[in-house]
Copies of this chain bind each other. A is one copy, B any other.
Amino acid sequence: MSKNTWRDYPLWLKALPWELTGDLRTPEDVAEYECSRYMSMHPSSAITLIHDDTHGEGYTLHWEERNCTVHGSGAGLLYGFYDAVFHARVNSREEVDAKPRYALRMINCWDNMDGSIERGYAGRSMWFEGSRFVYDPDRIRQLGRLLASVHINVLCINNVNVQDPAGHLLDTFLPDLAGFADILRPFGVRVMISIDFAMPILEGMTTADPLDPAVEAWWGVKADKIYEAIPDFAGFLVKADSEHRPGPNAYGRNHAEGANMLAKALAPHGGVVVWRAFVYNCKQDWRDQSVDRPKAAYDLYHPMDGQFAENVILQIKNGPFDFQVREPVSPLFYGMPHTRLALEFQLTQEYTGHQVDIYAMPPLFEEVMQAIPENAISAIAGVSNLGRDSNWTGHPFAALNLFAYGRTAFHGTQDSKAVTDLWLGNTYPDLSSRDRKILHSVLLHSRIAYERYTAPLGLCWMVNPHGHYGCSPYGYEFDVWGTYNRADRFGVGIDRTSSGTGYTLQYPEHLQYVYENRDLCPDNLVLFFHRLPYDAVLHDGNTLIQRIYEDHFQGLADVEEMKRLLDTVQFPEEDAEEVHQRMEMQLHNAREWCDIINTFFYRFSGIPDQKGRVIYP
């Protein structure tokens, strides 16, 4: 990282003075304070705040010339103020009548108390180090402000894989947690924590059986203590019976029984249990083709639909695997009509370039939100891409993903172009409009490029094991994780149709029909749903093998072009080095992916590129 500190990176808040006083108590305090400072920085345009209780967390914006009137109350007033600032910056005078699309708009942080962040690519934790809370209150306040500006209202502060001593966040560390919550409260952000289902045992109980009255009582007492310390505590996030985490199955109880017991303890206080649906057999035998990991969550939860308590929310990753570059949306979104659901996105770029490669997510959010049935979900979560790096997100462009996620969470589906422009205008106000157009095109093309040079056509998992950056096409092929591509000399992919593993049958009929039918299944998912020979002809007229070559050569060329374009942009000094260094790394990564994938499939198929380009033997 450069010599700059986090104080040099106000991200998209450049229209406001960066410093923030510590003595603000409520979101309205913050709104008034921010507004007065805004006015002194921008004397020619006014924002007027009108307290108005009728909007809940929502707000309205009304424009007269350059002046904006915000109506709202509480966090809504603050949200409206920030939204007015964003619009003013890009000279948009849109009338706004905003209501929150989802009441719970969460950021899930996978921070461990040792200071590391699981799958974090922006430095260490901003609040944990050395097995305790260690933070700069100024930075936490700024974090609260950043979250409020995009209307996030819940921050889950610790890893879903609860590592020692995070099991003690509810006892030893409760005063620290309460102090941390106090800092975020004026920004309308409530804290949540990930809990370990076996916590009663960690603290001396002999069982964590959810149907044991003593266990239920234990959690009840626990909840009372928490809410005494943190009256607006958001609730628990739980990863249970998944990837070696403890859970109710150990006691012969199902997940509804496990979640409902916790929910009962939180209900009197208005808290929720967010129960992750990321459960599958992580000790699979690669020889056993009858098991198909994408089926696991639906098989487990669909029969439990309707059994969960009111304040339980089942949190489902956007796809059935694990944040791969190209997956269909999870069939659970269609299969749990009587259960509160949350959609989980992963902002941190675990499989999408580690915040080295550019991967702008607005098109992902837009696609997924459009694919999920209307009203299927009532909450939303994003796995944090933030860390202690000066610029907050490792790659400066990764901040777009947090910004767009927040706006999606509050306003619902966002037009990718519009939200990207809003971020660009507020993040890079001093760039020429030519340079902003270049950034706009690079960002909106970045996901397409990444998809082209990595695993082809929905194949998934061709990453280096453990780290998940870079290409290893057979790296997970014989492992226990259920992550196989089954490439051989005849073809590649897994038949997930009704004549194969039957995964497609988990979808409603109209989607079954699309995914089952080779003539209808979109090319970009064809290897997710079908096993194909290399000479199969795709919709675009290419054979499968030729399409793999085309995509990979094109993906590399895309990155070369992105680099050429970015080299012409006059970035602000604090970003330039990061952007260019990471672009070099991305180009190297894209070249490796391109050549490795091409070689891998050439070695199996023996079919050369029709255009005679170099494929290494």
Contacts and interface: CB of A to CB of B under 8 A. Distances in A.
Interface in A231-273: none
Nearest to A597: B478
A80 B471 CA distance: 57
A18 interface: no
A486 B600 CA distance: 10
A487 interface: yes
A526 to B, nearest CB: 20
Contacts of A603: 487-489, 604
Interface string A596-617: 1001101111100000000011
Given A465-B465, A599-B478, A603-B604, A287 B616 contact: yes
Interface in A368-385: none
B606 A478 contact: no
A595 interface: yes
A592 interface: yes
Nearest to A596: B478
Given A287-B595, A604-B603, A604-B604, A478 B471 contact: yes
Copies in the complex: 2
A33 interface: no
A478 B489 contact: no
A120 interface: no
A466 B616 CA distance: 25
A592 B478 contact: yes
A500 interface: no
Interface in A262-318: 286-287, 289
A488 B487 CA distance: 12
A464 B473 CA distance: 14
Contact of A617 (B473, B478, B488, B606): B488
Interface in A529-585: none
Contacts of A6: none
A409 B606 CA distance: 50
Contacts of A472: 474-475, 478
A287, A604, A605 interface centre (most CB from chain B within 10 Å) = A287
Contacts of A477: 474
A490 interface: yes
A601 B359 CA distance: 36
A472 B464 CA distance: 12
Contacts of A486: 617
Interface in A442-498: 464-466, 471-475, 477-478, 486-490
A589 to B, nearest CB: 12
Contact of A489 (B473, B604, B616): B604
Nearest to A488: B603
A596 B484 CA distance: 13
Contacts of A489: 489, 603-606
A544 B487 CA distance: 22
Contacts of A600: 474, 478
Given A474-B473, A478-B471, A478-B472, A606 B490 contact: yes
A600 B488 CA distance: 8
A595 B477 CA distance: 12
Contacts of A599: 478
A604 B604 CA distance: 6
A466 B475 CA distance: 12
A490 B466 CA distance: 31
A604 B488 contact: yes
A597 to B, nearest CB: 10
A605 B604 CA distance: 9
A332 B235 CA distance: 66
Nearest to A605: B489
Contacts of A466: 466
A604 B602 CA distance: 11
7 contacts: A466-B466, A472-B478, A474-B477, A474-B600, A478-B600, A488-B602, A488-B604
Interface of A: 286-287, 289, 464-466, 471-475, 477-478, 486-490, 592, 595-596, 599-600, 602-606, 616-617
Closest 9 CB pairs of A and B: A488-B603, A474-B474, A287-B616, A478-B596, A489-B489, A489-B606, A489-B604, A475-B475, A287-B595
Given A488-B602, A604-B604, 12 more contacts: A286-B616, A287-B595, A464-B465, A472-B474, A472-B478, A473-B478, A474-B475, A475-B475, A486-B617, A488-B606, A489-B604, A603-B604
